[in-house]
Chains A and B, each alone.
Chain A
Amino acid sequence: MTRGMRRVCRIVIAAAAVLTAGFGELRGTGDLGVVVERASGRLQVVDSTARISLGVVEGLGDLSHASVVYSRDARFAYVFGRDGGLTKVDILTGTVVARVVQAGNSIGGAISGDGTLVAVSNYDPGGVKVFDARTLELVKEIPATFGAEGARSKVVGLTDAPGRRFVFSLYDAGEIWIADFSHGDEAAVTRIRDVGRQPYDALITADGRHYVAGLFGEDGLALVDLWHPELGARRILAGYGRGEQPLPVYKMPHLEGWAMTENHAFLPAVGRHEVLVVDRRTWREIGRVPVHGQPVFVMARPDGREVWVNFAHPRNDTIQIIDVESLTIRHTIEPGPAVLHMEFTPRGDEVWVSVRDADRVDVYDTATYRRLATVAVEKPSGIFLTARAHRIGL
């Protein structure tokens, strides 16, 4: 090898080393994801195979309750900020492709199954705004007006549903709306009234058939069968607290990552140290699992064998793992102060855990419950891996 050639080789090797540690490498996105740094308005793009961070994306506004959905090619992350910001991020290059500040205060969003529409649910002004997923141009605004005076309700629990539909709940009005974009960009809106007091979040089952809204104002949940929206909402688990005074709720549970196994749904009880277990065919309660604190996220490992639960302040340093056959606690781990979120790798062999007050994201082996790696992240909250791109309601 000549000296010249050797030098070229060295440069190429050095460049490759830089690229593998950062953005710009020619690669797939199937094992990538983002972690929200809630206090600094940044995302870290992570590689779940190498268990490392690839880099940081800045300038995303207030991310204190941020959530993320993915384009169907799993290259672009749509980030919904608390301050009404909607940002489209290219996770391969680590750059912001488009950004709009579309409301004063918002809570989350969804992407249509065909990948063309991105919807955002807003607290203030209450309603839903729908954008072109390519350009982030406004396509449609749906104000959440209710009552004789035309008050606007906060909107929660927004999810996509099959057939270019979005489903969401009106916290102040106690209603569930279905916005149908199947005939173009003019939505046909179906209103379901009197679903229960103060729906606070909702989820859709993985098959896109059932929409379930948790109620804060009463013990129970509202269920809509999207194959038969004309039947309205049905109350399930009504009175699960059996009249006992609930404990004060220091953090609202989340329902997006709700645990559905083949036969059961696992639901957080509001204001109680319990996970409720429901039969998915009848939607009747079949059991309860006493747990360490008030559940926040209740998530099935993708193989459905276990359900992982984290808890509200002040008992938020712990995760418990429920065995779905015996409905008992199989294992308890204490990752550290303020465990905010968990995300399984697509087939469930590993789980990523945000430990906010330790400024860490830990990766655990779900077979041994051993910690495999740690990624330094400043005040981490939500973790969103790209496998969500291909799932209804995520």
Chain B
Amino acid sequence: MVARAAMTSVGAFVATVLAVASALAAGASVPADRLSPERKASLVHLLRHDCGSCHGMRLLGGLGPPLTAQALEAKPGEMLVATVLYGRPGTPMPPWRGALSETEVRWLIDLLKSGELQ
């Protein structure tokens, strides 16, 4: 039997997150105001319905933790961006890179932290 968690050790995971975080900090990404209103609307739809299948449509939590402004307040934005892009190995949180660009993820995290959705 293969334990999914064993495929990626915790150490390797931390290293990935750190590498990603610094890469993200270094490469100034496309500003979020370049996202079209249509794309923003479809990102909110994705957030509620597809992220919502694990985090709850109202983002109050489910199999995944709540994504309310309050729940995310103390968590560094870079870490959260890396979580969404690269997932969390050993947990059901999947990586969204490929489906979402870094700019889009950053915009989503800012939106979550702003509490505008609640």
Query: Footprint of B on A, CB under 8 Å?
Result: 38-39, 62, 64-65, 82-83, 104-105, 107, 123-124, 154, 171, 197-198, 200, 216-220, 235, 238-239, 241, 243, 245-246, 248-252, 313-314, 338, 356-357, 379
Q: Which chain B positions have C-beta within 8 A of A356?
A: 49
Q: Closest CB-CB distance, A312 to chain B, in whole Å?
A: 9
Partner of B92 from the list A238, A252, A357 (CB cut-off 8 Å) is A252
- 26 A-B pairs within 8 Å (CB atoms) are namely A62-B56, A62-B57, A62-B60, A64-B52, A64-B56, A82-B62, A83-B58, A105-B56, A105-B61, A105-B62, A124-B61, A197-B4, A198-B92, A200-B92, A216-B92, A217-B5, A217-B90, A219-B4, A220-B1, A238-B1, A246-B4, A248-B95, A250-B50, A251-B54, A252-B92, A357-B49
- In the complex, the answer to whether A235 meets B87 with C-beta atoms within 8 Å is no
Check B92–A241 contact: CB distance below 8 A: no
* Chain A residue contacts of B48, Cβ below 8 A: 39
Give the dominant DSSP class at B's interface: loop
Contact of B57 among A82, A198, A217, A338 (CB under 8 A): A82
Chain B residues whose C-beta falls within 8 Å of the C-beta of A124 in the assembled complex: 61
Does the CB pair B7–A252 fall under 8 Å?
no
Interchain nearest-CB distance for B70 vs A (Å): 14
Contact flag A105-B60 (CB < 8 Å), given A252-B54, A356-B49: yes
Q: Is the interface of A mostly helix, strand, loop or mixed?
A: loop
A-B contact count (CB 8 A): 84
Nearest-CB residue, chain B, relative to A246: B4
The answer to whether A249 touches B62, judged by C-beta atoms less than 8 angstroms apart, is no
Residues of B within 8 A of A (CB-CB), count: 26
Contact with A along B1-43 (1 / 0, CB 8 A): 1111101000000000000000000000000000000000000
- Asked if residues B57 and A39 are in contact (CB atoms below 8 Å), the reply is yes
Which residues from chain B sit less than 8 Å from chain A, CB to CB?
A: 1-5, 7, 45, 48-50, 52-54, 56-58, 60-63, 87, 90, 92, 94-95, 99
- Whether A218 contacts B2 in the complex (CB less than 8 A), given A250-B94, A252-B63, A314-B99, comes out as yes
B53 touches A251 (CB 8 A): yes
Known pairs A217-B5, A239-B1, A314-B99 / 6 extra A-B pairs, C-beta < 8 Å? A39-B57, A62-B57, A64-B56, A219-B1, A245-B7, A248-B87
Residues of chain B within 8 A of A105, CB atoms compared: 56, 60-62
Q: What is the bound-complex CA distance between A46 and B57, given in angstroms?
A: 24
Nearest-CB residue, chain B, relative to A198: B92
Known: A64-B52, A123-B63, A171-B63. A235 touches B57 (CB 8 A): no
